[in-house]
Amino acid sequence: MYKTVLFDLDGTLLNTLTDLADAGNRLCVKYGWPTHDRAGYRYLVGNGIPKLIERLAPPDSRTDAVLAAALEDFKADYGAHLRDTTAPYPGIPELLERLRQAGVQTAVFSNKADALAREVVADYFGADTFAAVRGQRTGVAPKPAPEGTRALMASLGADPASTLYVGDSNVDVQTAHNAGLPCCGVLWGFRTREELTEAGAEHLAADADELYRVILEG
């Protein structure tokens, strides 16, 4: 059994795609940039909000000043709308309770801005569900760089030999592997089975029950 499980947030615990896409498109309209269909945001998000803004901005708009202003505008707008349609994926609240009862330590490690990650996790799962919630912090390289993962594990006293990272994208698989951890890719998220397989995910889970079995059999 894995004793510690680190979860990605967007696309893994919460379906945030519509709220992220709508906030992104409102930003694009404000700045006169091309908008994108919601499905396209599956591949625009995943590397943190600053990278999302860079991807949304046309090349001739990617100055430091414009990107910085757009980043603040996005954070303010998304922060006001992050509950519009966002919801846990089916079975996730029940899974987290089953893991708690089994004595498995859980934490969230996301590329979402730290304050937003903490806020949305508290809203949907309560303040005491996870041992820790970490988002992207100033001065810490975003996923898939290993520094944030290692710092989180150290704070939890987690042994890499009994820790699993769970996520929905190749970024998550790389995050796990860069920190010396196995990864379980979830098939209900933003990306595809093929992407997770090609990235080298050790496990795949089609639903929350299957993920529970992976964790207990780990």
- On the question of pLDDT at 214 being above 90, the answer is yes
Kindly report the pTM of this predicted structure.
Answer: 0.94
The pLDDT of 16-43, averaged and rounded, is 97
**pLDDT tens column, 153-175:** 999 999 999 999 999 999 999 99
Question: What is the C-alpha to C-alpha distance for residues 218 and 168, in angstroms, rounded to an integer?
Answer: 19
- On average, the pLDDT of the chain sits at 96
What does the pLDDT read at residue 218? 82
Picking from 121, 177, 100, 114, the residue whose alpha carbon sits closest to that of residue 144 is: 177
Token pair of 36, please? 């994108």
Q: How many CA atoms lie within 13 A of 134 on its CB side?
A: 23
Altogether, the residues listed in the chain come to a count of: 218
- On the question of pLDDT at 186 being above 90, the answer is yes
Name the catalytic one among 8, 10, 19, 168.
8
**pLDDT tens column, 68-85:** 999 999 999 999 998 999
The pLDDT of 18-46, averaged and rounded, is 97
C-beta separation of 115 from 136 below 8 A? no
Question: Does the active-site annotation cover 19?
Answer: no
Out of 8-12, 46-50, 101-105, pick the least confident.
Answer: 46-50
What does the pLDDT read at residue 124? 96
Question: What is the C-alpha to C-alpha distance for residues 171 and 98, in angstroms, rounded to an integer?
Answer: 27
Q: What percent of the chain has pLDDT over 90?
A: 96
What does the pLDDT read at residue 12? 98
Tell me if residue 183 falls in helix, strand or coil: strand
